[in-house]
Amino acid sequence: MIILVFFTFYVSSGMVAGGIFFESSFGSSYEVGMLVVGGVTVLYTLFGGFLGASYTDVAQGLLMFAALLLVPIVGVSATGGLGATIESIRQVDPNHLSLFTGGAVAGISAAAWGLGYFGQPHIIVRFMALRTPGEAKAARRIGIGWMLLTVLGAVATALVGVAYFQQNPGVVLTDAKSAESVFLDLSQILFHPFIAGFVLAAVLAAIMSTVSSQLIVCSSALVEDLYKIFARTHAPAKTQVMLGRMGVLVVAIVAGILAWARNDTILGLVAFAWAGFGASFGPTIILSLFWRKLTVAGALSGMVAGAATVFVWGTSALSDTMYEIVPGFILNVVVAVVVSLLTHKPTPEIETEFNEAVRRVHAPEAPVVAAER
C-alpha cells in the first residue's frame, strides 16, 4: 500500500514533466503533452515488463548522461566563461553558490535527501538483475559514478541558467514561475535544432525511464504482495500478467488525474514521494542487512510509522520548517528497534540465512551452502 500511494505521486510528477516538455519544445498544450508521454510510457511498460524497462533505460540513460554534461559546458561558454558565469550568479543571489544557506535546519533537510536512496523501490529493484553477488561491486561503481556526474551536471545546468537569463533579460523562460523548464529552454537556445533534438530526447528519456521503472514496481506490489495476501492462492502466470497490467493502468490513470490539475511543481511531487519511500523502507532495509534482531512486527511497525509521519508532516505547515524525510526516518528507526526488542525470539533459520549472506559478501563466488538449498 505504501508503494502504491507514494508511487502514484511519483508517476504524477513524471506526467507533469511530460506536459511541461511539450509546452516548451513544441508549443503544444500541457494536457496534450502529459497524455502523449504518459500514454507511450504506459504502452511499452504494459507489454515490455521488467526487461523492456531495463533495455530502454540503458539507451535513455546514455542520452541523459551526454545531455547533462553537454548543456552546462556549452552554457558556460555562452555566458562568457567560468568567471563571468559566477559573477552573474552572484548578481542574482550570492546564496546560490553557498552550500550552507538557510542555517543548520535547512542544511540537514538538504543533506537528508541522501537518506532517501536506501528506500526507493525503483532503484532497489535493479538488484534483481544481478546474476551473482560479485556483480554488486561493478554495479556500485557504475551507480555512484553515474549519480555524481549527473547530479553535478544538473546543478551546473541550473546555475548556468541563472547566469544566462540574468545576462539576457529579454529571453523568457517557458515556465517562469518554477523555472523547471530551464534545461529545455537552454537546450533550444544554445544548440542547433538538430543537436537540440537529441538533447530534448534525453530529457524525454529521463521522464519515461523513471515512470516505466515506477510502474513496474507498482505492478509487482499489486500482484506479488496485495493479490497473494488477499486471494491466498497462487494464480496462473497469465492471470498474474493480466493483473499486473491492470495495476499499471490503474496507477497511471490516477496519476494522470493528479497531474491534470497541475497543483504542484515536479520537484514538490518528487520530494514528497522520495521522502515517503526513504522514511518507510530505508531504515527497514538497513536494519535487515546489519541487525539480526529485526522482527516482522518491528519492520511493519517502523514502515507504518515512517509513512504516516511523512504524510502528516509533508501535508502540513511543518514541511516548511524541515524536510519530512528527517522525522519520518528517525521515527521509523526508533519504532522498529523498540518493537523488535520486545518481540524478538531466536530463530535458527534466520541466523543461518544471515550468516550465509555475510559469508557470500566476503566470498561472492563461493558455492551456495545449506541456507539456499
Cβ 180 vs Cβ 265: under 8 Å: yes
**Does residue 293 lie in a domain region?**
no
**Does residue 304 lie in a domain region?**
no
Domain count, the chain: 1
d(CA 126, CA 113): 20
**Does residue 261 lie in a domain region?**
yes
Q: Model's pTM, two decimal places? A: 0.75
**Does residue 283 lie in a domain region?**
no
**Does residue 18 lie in a domain region?**
yes
User: Cα 362 vs. chain centroid, distance in angstroms?
Assistant: 30
Which CATH number covers residue 211? 1.20.1730.10
**Does residue 164 lie in a domain region?**
yes
Cβ 50 vs Cβ 128: under 8 Å: yes
**Does residue 61 lie in a domain region?**
yes
What tens-digit pLDDT sequence spans the chain (373 residues)?
888 888 888 888 888 888 888 887 888 888 888 888 888 888 877 776 666 667 777 777 787 788 888 889 999 999 989 999 999 999 988 888 887 777 788 888 888 888 888 988 877 877 777 887 778 888 888 888 888 888 899 899 999 999 999 998 888 887 777 787 888 888 888 888 888 888 888 788 778 877 887 787 777 777 777 777 776 667 677 777 787 788 778 888 888 888 887 767 777 888 888 999 999 999 999 999 888 889 999 999 999 999 999 999 988 888 888 899 999 999 999 999 999 999 988 888 888 888 888 887 776 555 545 444 4
d(CA 277, CA 309): 12
Q: Which domain holds residue 109?
A: 2-265
Q: What is the CA radius of gyration of the chain?
A: 22
**Does residue 328 lie in a domain region?**
no
